[in-house]
Amino acid sequence: MAEAPPPLLAARGLGVRFGDFRALSEVTLEVAAGALHAIIGPNGAGKTTLFNVLTGRLRPSEGIVTLAGRDVTRLPAHRRVHLGMARSFQVTNIFADLTVAENLRLAIQAVDGWEPWVFWRGRSALPAAAGRVEALLEEAGLASRAAWRAGDLSHGGQRALEIGMALAADPRIVFLDEPLAGMGIDDVHRTKELIHNLVPARTVVLIEHNMRVVLDIADRITVLAQGRPIAEGPPAAIRANAAVRDAYLGSGM
Amino acid sequence: MSAFREGGHFPDGTTLGVGAALVALPFLLPSVTLASELVVFAVATLSCTFLLGLVGLLSFGQGLFFGLGAYVSGVLLREHGLGTLPAVAAAAGFSFLAAGLLAFLAVRRQGVYFVMLTLAFAQMGYFAMLALKDVTGGENGLTGVPRPPLLAGAGTLSGPEAVYAFLAGLAFAAYLLVQRIGCSPFGSVLRAIRQNEARAEALGYDTRRFKIAAFALAGLLAGLAGAMHTVFLGFVPPNAIELEMSERLIIMAIIGGAGAPAGAFVGAGFYVLMADWLSTLWPRWLMLIGVLLIAIVLFLREGVWGGAMLLLARLRRARRRG
């Protein structure tokens, strides 16, 4: 049997305390390069907190996070983006008053070397950036709404823009926090395909409540309950796991 | 167009309008000195307008950098025999560095706490001026500041017209700089920070660094205005660094509207002319400014300039339809 490749992302012994409340304890996680790794669990299980720690928005009280073998535990979020991490947010987090195209252009510009510091010329000077914006608009299915004010997009459109912004930095690993939440049925299908097509070129870590989608597209699933991982494995094993059923999935499976 | 909100273009019609207004002002106003005072405060207000309108930072400390620029230029002109232009440039540069240094502390906090820090800086500036009495002249101000030629004996500033031309030139340069920044990549980052700082950080922008740079730049503008004030008056009054100066600059910015750099010129113009006119009628005229400020905050959130632009856009739309 071939030796397993080293994980792209690894977390060891992560703990987060807010005062007396332990939001996360002893979370250990390995995400293989090119995998679509889902994190599921009931509300309040600590999924988003785990995302915030992995992407640098929150410092863990204990434990380490490594990206491609490099310890990134203390790196702020903006530095991690430049190492190839990107994320979308559970609550839609866009620049509502700017156009859809400008939202994406800002996301591209962020990783474009010294470009963000250029103050002596206009923004549209680089055709390469314009091409990238076009490509992302296509990928997110927003090409016809490029000039819209982002806040005027439908909920589904804003969720798609979120994902587009996460992809703009051409990340190695993308963290998607409930990308399907509140989407209509057509959007769910389209977005599911979009996410599925990201791998194996990119690695995806996904928080999602839509079990049908998760069981369908995930390679591996980690189940969190009360801040601790209670099970991990391929979808079939998770579906069959009695502890998971008790803690979370209920009788609907 | 509210250029800070949406980006806009450079140069545009407003650029031309501001340039034309600067040329016309001394002919339109009752005196050239009034025009000079107006452009000095326009640049000072521009520093508040830029911070508030583009970056979303409310600073009660711009009077400090105005005062720093005023005193540094005053001391350089009086004690060190520098030409007017290098003294003004050095004062602006000094304020740029001082603002950058203080911003390093201030950007660690957000919202109300950021505002309180800038307020504390402004307070400290005034008392530092009093403490350094030997350099600043204390409560008497710095008197007898000469007005030497611009550079190495060339370009004498003889008469109030020449002074106005020099100050108006600097004001236009400051306006061009801010308008240019407003629609540059750097400006787009500042706009993103105002809208949603957490998102900008998640996209990979080191938002603290951008805010420090913006604050330093605003310090440069305020310091430049302070130095212009010294050249204009020929002395440095202690109120140049008072807390009330900071307050006045914010009031001017809000009256004019912080949505576009032109708002600073309108706000400063409005205030300076009202002060000139009303103060002859009623010594308590500042109360009227208070009433005006309340009216603007309640009914004209984009200020006089923003309101006028909105009206213009509405008229245009109506004509197209009709």
Q: What are phi and psi of A105, to 5 degrees?
A: -60, -40
CB contact under 8 A, B180 and A119: yes
Q: Answer whether B247's CB lies under 8 Å from B295's CB.
A: no
Cβ-in-10-Å burial (0-12, 13-18, 19+) of A48 comes to buried
CB neighbourhood size of A251 (10 A) = 5
Give the per-residue pLDDT at B288. 86
Structure-derived torsion over alpha carbons of residues A129, A131, A132, A135, reported in degrees to the nearest 10: 160
In DSSP notation, A70-110 reads EE-TT--HHHHHHTTEEE--SS--S-TTSBHHHHHHHHHHT
> Which residues, numbered 77 to 116 in chain A, qualify as contacts with chain B under a Cβ-Cβ cut-off of 8 Å?
77-79, 81-82, 87, 89, 93-98, 102, 105-107, 109-111, 115-116
Q: Which residues contact B89 (CB under 8 A, 6 or more apart)?
A: none
On whether any CB of chain A is under 8 Å from the CB of B285, the answer is no
The secondary element (H helix, E strand) that includes residue B63 is helix B62-79
Q: Which of B203, B252, B196 is nearest to B38 (CA)?
A: B252
If we measure between CA atoms, which residue out of B151, B147, B146, B128 comes closest to residue B138? B128
- Note the Cα A76 to chain centre separation in Å: 17
Token pair of A118 as six digits:
């250029």
Nearest to A119 among B5, B184, B203 (CB): B184
Distance from CA of B136 to the nearest CA of A (A): 36
Neighbours of B294 (CB within 10 A): 10
Binary contact (A98, B192; C-beta < 8 A):
yes
pLDDT tens per residue, chain B (322 residues)?
A: 467 877 778 888 899 999 999 999 999 999 999 999 999 999 999 999 999 999 999 999 999 999 999 999 999 999 998 899 999 999 999 999 999 999 999 998 988 999 999 999 999 999 999 999 988 988 899 999 988 888 877 778 889 999 999 999 999 999 999 999 999 999 999 999 999 999 999 999 999 999 999 999 999 999 999 999 999 999 999 999 999 999 999 999 999 999 999 999 999 999 999 999 988 888 888 888 888 889 998 988 889 999 999 899 899 988 887 6
Tell me what the mean pLDDT of segment A60-74 comes to: 95
pLDDT at A37: 97
* Whole-number pLDDT of residue A44: 87
**Is B196's CB within 8 Å of A93's CB?**
yes
Nearest to A111 among B189, B200, B204 (CB): B204
pLDDT tens sequence across A201-221: 999 999 998 889 999 999 999
Please list every residue in chain A whose beta carbon sits closer than 8 Å to the beta carbon of residue B6: 98
* Banded pLDDT at A252 (limits 50, 70, 90): very low
Residue A156, SS3?
Answer: helix
Range of the domain at B216: 3-321
Q: State pLDDT tens for residues A82-133.
A: 999 999 998 889 999 999 999 999 999 999 889 999 999 887 656 677 889 9
* CA–CA dist A157, A151 (Å, integer): 10
Q: Find out whether B208 and B29 touch, Cβ atoms under 8 Å.
A: no
pLDDT higher than 50, residue A253: no
Q: Kindly indicate the confidence band of residue A156, based on its pLDDT and cuts at 50, 70 and 90.
A: confident
Contact call for A97 and B195, based on CB within 8 A? yes
Q: Structural domain tally of chain B?
A: 1
- Chain B residue numbers with beta carbons less than 8 Å from the beta carbon of A129 are none
Which residues is A232 bridged to in the sheet?
A222
pLDDT for the residue A119: 92
Looking at the complex, report in whole angstroms how far the Cα of residue B53 sits from the nearest Cα belonging to chain A. 14
Do B204 and A93 count as a contact with CB atoms less than 8 A apart? no
What is the reported pLDDT for A91? 87
pLDDT for res B320: 84
The whole-chain average pLDDT of chain A stands at: 90
Cα torsion through B108, B110, B116, B117, rounded to 10: 20
Over residues A230-253, the mean pLDDT reads: 78
Q: Which of B203, B207, B210 to mutate to test the interface with A (most CBs of A within 10 A)?
A: B203
Would you say residue A159 has pLDDT above 80?
Answer: yes
